[in-house]
Amino acid sequence: MRAHMITYGCQMNEYDSHLVQSQLVSLGADMVDSVDEADFVLVNTCAVRGKPVDKVRSLLGELRRQKALRPLVVGMMGCLAQLEEGQQIARKFEVDVLLGPGSLLDIGQALESHERFWGLQFKEELHDHIPPPPVGKLQAHLTIMRGCDHHCTYCIVPTTRGPQVSRHPDQILRELDSLLEAGVKEVTLLGQNVNAYGFDAGAKLAGYPSFADLLRMVGRSGVQRVKFTTSHPMNFTEDVAAAMAETPAVCQFVHLPVQSGSDRVLRRMAREYSREKYLSHIAEIKKHMPDAVLATDIIVGFPGETEEDFQDTLSLYDEVGYDSAYMFIYSPRPGTPSYKHFQDLPRDVKTERLQRLIVKQKEWSARRNARFQGTVQEVLLRGDAYSEGSLEGHTRGNHPIVVPKALGALSAGLYHARVTATTPHMLYGELVDASGEPLPLLPHLGPEAAALVTPLPMM
């Protein structure tokens, strides 16, 4: 069996795809790089917003056309596969295998039920369902929990992924050990709501640490960088900020979604916290980490949002001073309370507000990034950038950075770089040695290589 996977959506979906790929390999499958080479294509879907659903429809339409020309089995997994909407799409486009987020370990049985793959057998059991580490990568995701016990009115996740289930800390640490042995330098802990780790259904699990203590445990493992996503403010505690500040391996980067700055809208979203409570968490973070990098999620144009409500969001952005934000127009999702009970705002109203928020975000990102001018930052370089002779990566604060290649730094790895220029969404720099002196550029590039990373004009 030659298999190919296509993944849409969040980091959790990327992790799930890696988990399923490892099982396909254990079945004897060869993972191939393109649809044209495959006789089994598995699409991992997202249902959080309408756009990724539209992408899945388009892809499945193309795969159905290919099925008419050659033997091809098509599978669909992930959040969309769990919903009636997704099942209707699967029937329309003649999908052969459906696999919900809670059935990832059933891929073998699902394929065995298809006549083309009768007789497939696992070569070996996956130890505690821990996937093998990624090959040749310095970054990895590590799932610490699945599902969510909150019920935000706009969110489909509790329907698709179910209630929160925390993963046992021993499993987490065993997988972490395998990642470190494979050379991983940076690990991102994943969960729908990592702050609630160890408190499933609102009750403390015996033998499970709090999320703050888990951060301390992971930080003592020898890993060089630890990040986490995503957080719900309702479950954030000051101890998390303290653990981040006192654990050197944990990056001082906090992604704390606010969604709206209006108490009225937050109540309609069922977010379970107020503007004041959210700002108290920001104050706790800044108390322990004055230089913390802050990011958030914001939904613009939620049903019933007035201009006054939107102004509250803009003023909150100024009060916090975010480094970056993921900003979305509200997308009504079938199966959510907001879709059933609330009337959507006109598209042009939502679009206009989003544009104003983007302007605000760019102003703050430019201001926040400018403070790094001239400083030396630890950077994790992932490989070649968009221009010849340069490498791209990111800082401990998750800022993307581009540098010219230099002697002793020709590929992925951890290095130090002095920031020489900034834009709202990018840092540019030069690699330096331990004393802060610039590393010599590659001889065949010469000094003019610095021009390869001239900041792009602001859009």
Rounded (10°) angle between helices 211-219 and 238-246: 10
User: If phi over 0 gives left and psi between -120 and 50 gives alpha, with beta otherwise, what is residue 458?
Assistant: beta
pTM > 0.85: yes or no: no
φ, ψ at 85 (rounded to 5°): -55, -45
Question: What pLDDT does residue 458 have?
Answer: 37
Question: What pLDDT does residue 30 have?
Answer: 81
Q: Which residues contact 88 (CB under 8 A, 6 or more apart)?
A: none
Rounded Cα–Cα distance for residues 455 and 255 (Å)? 26
Q: Give the number of other Cβ atoms within 10 Å of residue 221's Cβ.
A: 15
Closest listed residue to residue 354, CA positions, set 320, 313, 323: 313
Asked if the model's pLDDT at residue 85 lies above 80, the reply is yes
Closest listed residue to residue 142, CA positions, set 173, 113, 100: 173
- pLDDT band per the 50, 70, 90 thresholds, residue 136: confident
Asked if the model's pLDDT at residue 224 lies above 60, the reply is yes
Is 46 assigned to a binding site?
Answer: yes
Query: Per-residue pLDDT averaged across 127-139, rounded?
Result: 72
Domain ranges (residues) in the chain: 2-121, 136-370, 376-453
Span 376-453: which CATH code? Answer: 2.40.50
Closest listed residue to residue 235, CA positions, set 271, 189, 288, 188: 271
Is 251 assigned to a binding site?
Answer: no
Rounded Cα–Cα distance for residues 314 and 360 (Å)? 7
According to DSSP H, which parts of 150-274 are helical? Answer: 157-161, 169-181, 211-219, 238-246, 263-269
In this structure, the strands spanning 165-166 and 145-146 are antiparallel
User: Lowest-confidence range among 140-154, 229-243, 310-324, 365-379?
Assistant: 140-154
Longest CA span, the chain? 65
Do domains 2-121 and 376-453 share one topology? The answer is no
User: Lowest-confidence range among 12-26, 216-230, 357-371, 396-410?
Assistant: 12-26
Rounded Cα–Cα distance for residues 1 and 39 (Å)? 7
Q: Any bridge partners for residue 165, and if so which?
A: 146
In CATH terms, is domain 2-121 a member of 3.40.50.2300? yes
φ, ψ at 43 (rounded to 5°): -105, 120
Average pLDDT, the chain: 88
- Listed ranges 80-94, 133-147, 290-304, 376-390; the one with the highest mean pLDDT: 290-304
Question: What pLDDT does residue 123 have?
Answer: 37
Q: Give the number of other Cβ atoms within 10 Å of residue 141's Cβ.
A: 18
Asked if the model's pLDDT at residue 2 lies above 70, the reply is yes
Cβ proximity of 252 and 289 under 8 Å: yes
- pLDDT band per the 50, 70, 90 thresholds, residue 202: confident
Query: Per-residue pLDDT averaged across 218-245, rounded?
Result: 96
**Between 379 and 84, whose confidence is greater?**
379
DSSP classification of residue 192: T
Which of 3.80.30.20, 1.10.3730.10, 1.10.8.620, 1.25.40.80 would CATH assign to domain 136-370?
Answer: 3.80.30.20
Rounded (10°) angle between helices 169-181 and 211-219: 30
Q: Any bridge partners for residue 403, and if so which?
A: 391
